[in-house]
Structure 1
Amino acid sequence: MLSYCTNVHPAEDLAGVCAQLARYAAPARVELGVDTLGVGLWLAADLAEQLATDHAALRRLRSELDAHGLAAVTLNAFPYRGFHDPVVKHRVYEPRWTEPDRLRYTLHCAEVLAELLPEGGRGSISTLPLGWREPWSAHDEAAARRHLDEAAAQLRTLAGRTGRRIRLAIEPEPGCLLDNVADALGWLPGCDTDHIGLCLDTCHLAVSFADPTATVRAIADSGIDIVKVQASAALHVDDPVAARAELARYAEPRYLHQVRERAADGIRSADDLPQAFDQLPGTGPWRVHFHVPVHWAADSALRPTTDVLRDVVAALLDPRPDIEVETYTWNVLPEQPDDLADGIAAELAFTQRLLDTLEAP
């Protein structure tokens, strides 16, 4: 089922999450004309713990989902809390998988999702690619391995207890320990790959300048499962020097916007858009980690990397993984929609048309 990720909304308590489902998800479902709309819930750490331990609270959330024709098929457990603080930047990668708090949060999310899934259902939880690339030591490596092994063991136990299989999906991201898919494919074979696979974020993939079709084939050849796809688009610009003024509008203070420049001798990198203006020569095309709406029709030098999303979806093998539209940046876009629910519905409609076209005989 196609879903949209609720990390676009700021609420971190149960009342706020229920309110935003009514305010945004329910109208989007009506506008799309579907009986059931998938949502990829983002639950901040404190709320995930409450729902995992308070049956009444969890019943309230399930009741709200049912009342609005919504189905929770996946969770986004990448941001821990404070994802809509005025400044997030590197804090989104904390706690790392070296920390017990990351394991505890992920397992709380798994308990919640197991209760929200239908009988015999399967679900996915996306998570960060270990942490930011530095600092990282042999001790950190061992701790991350240990915690992910424990996560897999607990997911196996949860499946036996509830009949609902939930898998963890590690999401490569530029600048992190697992910067790209190749890094993840090199690291994951040491894990329990029955319960841990990949989250393929098509914005992140585009930023890396990797070939999307070849990447999907490499993943299939590796034996690692694509557990989840986050349907998203990065910013692409062919001439970043000429388009500097337009690009500067996207240099906002909340989120980190990693930049990659394709050059004749390889890929150059900067950790954020303001640094890219100073550190990168701008002689080749740039891709910027700024999630722009996948249906955006650009009328300037900037364009979305929707072609990467299209190529990934076309290359996916059956059974198709969970697909979640993840544009969490609506509230920091230079130009914002009059109604966020309309924007969410438009993205979902665009993505569903794309899926339908690729499935047509």
Structure 2
Amino acid sequence: MITTHLRALAGAALLAVLPACGEAPIEYRYDPFAGDAFPDRREPVAVPPGGLGIVTDSLSDTLSLIDLGTGEKIRRVPVGRDPVGLDGPHHVTVDPAGRFVYIGLSYPIVATGGPHASHGASIQPGYVQKLSLDDFRILGQVRVDANPGEIVASDDGRRVVVSHFDLQRALKNPGNLDRARATIALVDPAAVLPTGSTDPARITTCIAPHGMALSRPDGARAYVACYGEDVVAVVDLDKREVLDRIPVDPSGGSIGDPQYGPYSAILSPDGKTLALGNTVSKDVRFFDVEANAMDPARTIDTLGAPFFPAFSPDAKYLWIPMQSPDALVLWDLEAGQEVTRRDFTADECKWPHVVERLDDTRIALVCEGDHVATGKVLLLDAMTLETKNEAIVGVYPDALARIPGPGL
């Protein structure tokens, strides 16, 4: 009975929309669509006179763009491959000509327990994305191994190299050194395409490689901070082989249970010295590139865990950000002593992470924040470490790449 009634109503509704007998149906004609099916509506980005800072917001899936002249955040750009899940843009680099930006997507497992608790814990393969500096649209992407850490470009622009801070690989293979060691990936910038990108060559390097610097200008050698082995790995990228693994301390390395934990590797402007931030032993140590050996006489003990420092152009000074306690130290490398130190409250700068020198009078400091709320980028006086400007960025800012302003 109910079914019969519904059918009657449906029939009446259909008759209501049909044209009456003798009336012609209404026909609409449209001109062919002449535009792009999927137009790119990203606004162009102009590099400000004072330079552009590109900050990775790891837990926001964005890049924060900073006017380095004024300290103002001028835009926030979404990045990644997954519109719903977390891609985790970790580190960032720019090719020397300033045309392309490269980011590593790390797909972190969100965890609690302090800074970097989830870093290195992913089991999902990472990606490198190539972006246009004009408007930060995606130009290409290529798959790499899990937990991409540092990403660096050679000065001649011929290669991009990615480390893999793969702690999961080490945990799953405690008795097998070869299987516990992770790789670095050699990415050909010209082969990073929207589809069909060439698979990068991999070089098995050490346990949990993270910080990395390339020789200048050709990037023929990579100097890699091997967190899980307490060594510096020297890698010939042309021959694709590890030339040496040099312990950061004369007592030797510690396989899988770091006693020093080299996490960052920063090359001096003259290419002669590598500064290593050791987050377990809480010190900065130096590797002599020409001697291919550590220089233990120059070790700087730090109260907190040191992360990514920066050299002055003449390699006389080193700015060292440290965590727990949170502070920034300006160190005179020639005199072997502290020039000044600034301790931060949580409101000022929680978990200082990386320093970037901007010019003769200013530096930029990336503050991670608590990985829940937003982080900061501070522009500081290079000598007094006084705050000149600050910008609020996304959640867990983790790296900063700098594009010089026009004419700089």
TM-score between the two structures when normalised by the length of structure 2: 0.32
Higher relative contact order (CA 8 A, sep 6+): 1
TM-score between the two structures when normalised by the length of structure 1: 0.35
Q: Which has the larger radius of gyration?
A: 2
Q: Could you say which structure has the higher helix fraction?
A: 1
